[in-house]
Amino acid sequence: MKVSVKEAGKVRVIDLKGRITLGSGDLELRKAVQEQIDAGNTNIILNMQGIDYIDSAGLGELVACKKRASAKGGNVKLVMPSESVYKVLSIVSLHLVFEIFDSEVKAIGSF
């Protein structure tokens, strides 16, 4: 999985590309989010437009990232998951846990 971070005021947008799976994908997601939290950036948007697959380890890491940010007074929100990824989020009811936006601008504005 490829990860890049950009700044949008008080919000950090983490662009994700590839697969969030057990092994490298979930570890890269954890590292990227934890680096932002450690730097004091707790308002995080995960741009999932480039994610084509997520497994149970990836889902678990999404929840863990949200919990770590919330513990520091922040939040993690999702932008543009693909139809297949959204379907997986829905099956396990994570679409009720995360705020999910259809555009990065709307997600940034929600903070």
List, for residues 25-78, the tens digit of each pLDDT value: 999 999 999 999 999 999 999 999 999 999 999 999 999 999 999 999 999 999
Q: Which are the contacts of 36, defined by CB distance < 8 A and separation ≥ 6?
A: 5, 12, 14, 42, 44
Determine the Cα–Cα distance for residues 3 and 109; give it in Å rounded to an integer: 22
Structure tokens at 56: 């149970």
Does the pLDDT at position 24 exceed 90?
A: no
Does the pLDDT at position 8 exceed 90?
A: yes
- Which of 1, 16, 98 has the alpha carbon at shortest distance from 90? 98
Q: Which residues pair with 78 in a beta bridge?
A: 46, 100
Under 8 Å between Cβ of 77 and 110: yes
Region for 18 from its dihedrals, namely left if φ exceeds 0, alpha if ψ lies in -120 to 50, beta otherwise:
left
Determine the Cα–Cα distance for residues 76 and 81; give it in Å rounded to an integer: 14
Structure tokens at 5: 């971070």
Mean pLDDT of the residues in the chain: 96
